[in-house]
């Protein structure tokens, strides 16, 4: 326990996080009122012991664990309190249908491929007769073909129609957008047509945020004014302001494949660059106590000002909050433990919003900083460069290694890939991003001086082009990326255990860390072998839900026959989002694409199973018995007539059919007492054979 004394805040935060996770994964572990009673009882005992100890000068017992259990329950209670779905007045708990509703836009507009996306807060809803106040958040989509521009922050909208509960993933392994939104306390979405919406007024929830979004829009427009080229403008906006809407998939994939993705999102890296520059500029102030506080005040003013012009986005707020604690601790001029400082910043963020713990960006940013703080000094001491140039190169190298080691397990869990040349790319990209960030900020500051701003904008453009050349060149190197890596959450924890044990082994030279690393490695291998025999060494038929497309995988021991239409193979993003996660889980290494033939149907025999795909109802084979019948392209009008000609053990309606057609055929199947699987209604059809 004595080893933990210098890390009091770290202990508090770990138990607070444990309580939050308990609330997320076991929300019914304790009823809220009972948890509150136990919390008050523990707190009373802790305070009572503290008072008694002061009076009697004697320690009756160690109250530490009681206090930590109280903190755990505090995290649990805070999570339940901040879960909007538990509120009776939330839209998710409304039983009556909604005819109209009012909502106020609460965020900035995001531009998607075919629609504008905004988040809004519900104000009231109207059923068939009356209006009533309601609580809840909703994602609204406005199609670009009907809306030239989106609504803005603070607009109060009157919308006709029923908000839809966010659907669960339609395919195995697909990104769980419903869960992602639930962690942000959003449970509904609505695709709104032009005729169904009217803007009533503008009433921003916060004038501060309203003007911050205006500042962000102004800054984005200024960068686009002085930087030429769509890609260059997109990267400038992403790197300086955190606006990522304009980044294309090829660009994102290249930066991800080289381990440089972190520079495209304003985060701790960017804030640290600005903070270091501020400290360098303020160095002449000296090291007196007053000078330290003046430097801290100026630093915080500039950092929070920068956060303001980025629109107070969540990622920037997290990073600025973290460095606020660092700046104050530095000015306090005491032997402040950096781990306690980081823990304190995390505690206040989680106290405000406990669901932040489930944010991938939150997890990776804090792990990266912890890795740099703990590992980088030791790595840096392994070599003492003779020149200043090599010293700076070595610093960047050790920072990259430390951050990569700290985030390795989560990176493999979430992104399933590892950039082999991350050291090379970061060695070139980090200094480049440093220049781009500074040049972008200079453009914003001197934007009113057109000739100078145009010159700096030209330098900014060339710098971004140089960054892109580096990234695309490194991506093209042989074996630049190891991808399709599948590990589950438990394996991620085991891998983290191996890394931590290896680090502690080098630090303390103790055999027990070898034992821990060996056990974690053994368990990791056992889980991987179980996954292979349970999921990879199997045969599957999967009919995916890919809107307006036909997509069928016949998977056998790492090889897939992909039955699809002629258009889907050209849509790599759709395949990556809807289909690739399941292939990754099933260990697919080779894909053979079989495009839908011109004929009205396709009859296949695979792994002793017969599969019939009907794509046109004009010519249907008669008196045929098959294991699986897949109906596509609204091919059949009458199910009863079809069943007279074909005897099928399983009937599946794929997503190339319209939703209306699938609903109609399901109604016919119900009348005939026949089981039909519609991927529009039930999600993907997947069976192991």
pLDDT in tens, 188-227: 999 999 999 999 999 888 888 888 888 988 999 999 999 9
Q: Rounded to an integer, what distance in angstroms lies between the CA atom of residue 520 and that of residue 497?
A: 6
Q: Rounded to an integer, what distance in angstroms lies between the CA atom of residue 298 and that of residue 288?
A: 15
Specify the residue for token string 């004014």: 225
637-666 burial: b if 16+ Cβ within 10 Å, else e: eebeebbeebebebbbbbbbbeeebbeebb
Give 447's DSSP letter.
T
Query: Looking at residue 493, what is its pLDDT?
Result: 95
Query: Looking at residue 54, what is its pLDDT?
Result: 75
Cα dihedral 424, 427, 433, 434, rounded to 10, equals 180
Q: Rounded to an integer, what distance in angstroms lies between the CA atom of residue 361 and that of residue 589?
A: 30
Measured from the Cβ of residue 388, the count of other Cβ atoms closer than 10 Å reads 8
Q: What is the pTM of this model?
A: 0.89
CA angle 268–273–278, rounded 5-degree value: 120
Query: Looking at residue 326, what is its pLDDT?
Result: 82
Fold of 91-205: OB fold (Dihydrolipoamide Acetyltransferase, E2P) (2.40.50)
353: buried, middle or exposed (CB in 10 Å: 19+, 13-18, 0-12)?
middle
Using N-to-C axis directions, what is the helix angle for 422-445 and 230-241, rounded to 10°? 90
What are the tokens at 689?
A: 């054979």
Query: Looking at residue 542, what is its pLDDT?
Result: 96
Query: Looking at residue 1, what is its pLDDT?
Result: 44
Query: Looking at residue 4, what is its pLDDT?
Result: 58
Query: Looking at residue 5, what is its pLDDT?
Result: 59
Query: Looking at residue 333, what is its pLDDT?
Result: 65
Catalogue the long-range contacts made by 452-460 (C-beta closer than 8 Å, 24 or more residues apart). 453/226, 454/226, 456/226, 457/223, 457/225, 457/226, 457/227, 457/228, 460/226, 460/227, 460/232, 460/236, 460/436
Q: Pick from 195, 212, 98: which is nearest to 152 by CA?
A: 212
Cα dihedral 191, 157, 208, 325, rounded to 10, equals -30
Query: Looking at residue 115, what is its pLDDT?
Result: 92
Q: Rounded to an integer, what distance in angstroms lies between the CA atom of residue 639 and that of residue 688?
A: 26
Provide φ and ψ at 648, rounded to 5°.
Answer: -120, 135
Give 680's DSSP letter.
H
In sequence order, what are the beta bridge partners of 104?
121, 156
Query: Looking at residue 2, what is its pLDDT?
Result: 44
Query: Looking at residue 271, what is its pLDDT?
Result: 83
655 contacts: CB under 8 Å, gap ≥ 6: 544, 545, 546, 547, 548, 549, 550, 551, 679, 680
- For 275, the enclosing helix (H) or strand (E) is helix 268-281
Under DSSP, is residue 167 helix (H, G, I), strand (E, B) or coil?
coil
- C-alpha distances in angstroms, 469 versus 1, 269, 420, 474, 475? 52, 21, 18, 8, 10
Which residues in the chain show pLDDT less than 50?
Answer: 1-2
DSSP symbols for 95-133: -S--SEEEEEE-S--EE-SSEEEEEEEEEEEE-SS-EEE
Query: Looking at residue 631, what is its pLDDT?
Result: 94
């Amino acid at each position: 326990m004595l080893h933990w004394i210098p890390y009091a805040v770290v202990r508090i935060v770990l138990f607070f996080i444990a309580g939050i996770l308990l609330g997320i994964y076991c929300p019914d572990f304790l009823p809220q009122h009972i948890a509150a009673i136990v919390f008050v009882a523990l707190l009373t005992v802790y305070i009572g012991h503290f008072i008694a100890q002061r009076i009697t000068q004697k320690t009756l017992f160690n109250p530490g664990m009681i206090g930590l259990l109280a903190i755990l329950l505090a995290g649990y209670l805070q999570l339940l309190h901040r879960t909007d779905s538990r509120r009776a007045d939330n839209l998710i708990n409304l039983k009556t249908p909604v005819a109209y509703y009012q909502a106020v836009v609460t965020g900035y507009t995001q531009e998607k491929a075919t629609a504008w996306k905004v988040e809004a807060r519900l104000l009231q809803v109207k059923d068939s007769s009356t209006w009533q106040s309601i609580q809840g958040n909703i994602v609204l989509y406005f199609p670009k073909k009907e809306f030239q521009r989106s609504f803005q922050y603070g607009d109060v909208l009157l919308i006709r129609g029923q908000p839809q509960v966010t659907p669960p993933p339609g395919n195995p392994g697909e990104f769980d957008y419903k869960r992602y939104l639930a962690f942000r306390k959003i449970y509904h979405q609505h695709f709104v047509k032009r005729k169904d919406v009217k803007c009533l007024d503008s009433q921003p929830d916060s004038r501060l945020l309203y003007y911050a979004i205006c500042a962000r829009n102004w800054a984005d427009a200024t960068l686009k004014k002085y930087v030429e080229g769509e890609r260059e403008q997109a990267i400038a906006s992403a790197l300086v302001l955190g606006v990522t809407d304009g980044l294309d998939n090829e660009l994102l994939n290249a930066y991800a494949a080289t381990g440089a993705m972190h520079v495209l999102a304003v985060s701790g890296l960017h804030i640290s660059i600005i903070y270091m520059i501020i400290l360098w500029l303020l160095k002449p102030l000296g090291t007196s106590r007053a000078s330290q506080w003046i430097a801290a005040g100026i630093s915080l003013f500039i950092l929070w000002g920068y956060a303001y012009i980025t629109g107070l986005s969540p990622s920037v707020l997290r990073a600025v909050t973290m460095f606020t604690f660092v700046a104050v601790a530095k000015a306090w001029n005491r032997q402040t433990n950096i781990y306690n400082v980081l823990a304190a910043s995390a505690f206040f963020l989680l106290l405000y919003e406990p669901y932040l713990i489930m944010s991938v960006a939150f997890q990776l940013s804090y792990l990266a900083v912890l890795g740099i703080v703990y590992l980088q000094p030791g790595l840096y001491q392994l070599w003492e460069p003779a020149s200043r140039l090599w010293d700076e190169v070595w610093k960047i190298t050790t920072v990259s290694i430390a951050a990569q080691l700290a985030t390795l397990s989560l990176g493999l869990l979430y992104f399933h890939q590892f950039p082999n040349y991350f050291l090379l790319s970061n060695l070139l990209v980090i200094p480049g991003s440093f220049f781009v960030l500074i040049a972008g900020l200079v453009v914003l500051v001197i934007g009113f001086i057109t000739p100078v701003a145009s010159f700096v904008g030209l330098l900014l453009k060339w710098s971004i082009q140089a960054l892109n050349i580096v990234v695309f060149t490194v991506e093209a190197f042989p074996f630049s990326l190891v991808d399709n890596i599948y590990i589950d959450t438990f394996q991620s924890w085991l891998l983290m255990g191996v890394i931590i044990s290896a680090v502690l082994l080098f630090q303390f030279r103790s055999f027990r860390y070898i034992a821990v690393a060996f056990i974690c490695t053994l368990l990791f291998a056992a889980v991987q072998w179980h996954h292979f025999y349970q999921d990879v060494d199997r045969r599957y038929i999967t009919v995916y839900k890919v809107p307006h497309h036909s997509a069928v995988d016949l998977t056998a021991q790492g090889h897939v026959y992909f039955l699809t239409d002629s258009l889907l193979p050209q849509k790599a993003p759709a395949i990556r989002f809807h289909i690739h996660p399941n292939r990754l889980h099933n260990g697919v290494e080779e894909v053979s694409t079989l495009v839908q033939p011109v004929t009205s149907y396709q009859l296949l025999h695979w792994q002793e199973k017969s599969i019939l795909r009907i794509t046109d109802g004009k010519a249907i084979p008669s008196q045929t018995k098959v294991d699986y019948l897949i109906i596509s392209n609204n091919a059949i009008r009458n199910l009863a007539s079809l069943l007279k000609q074909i005897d099928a053990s399983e009937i599946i309606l794929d997503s190339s059919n319209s939703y209306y057609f699938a609903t109609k055929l399901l109604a016919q199947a119900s009348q005939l007492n026949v089981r039909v699987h519609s991927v529009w209604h039930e999600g993907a059809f997947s069976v192991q054979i």
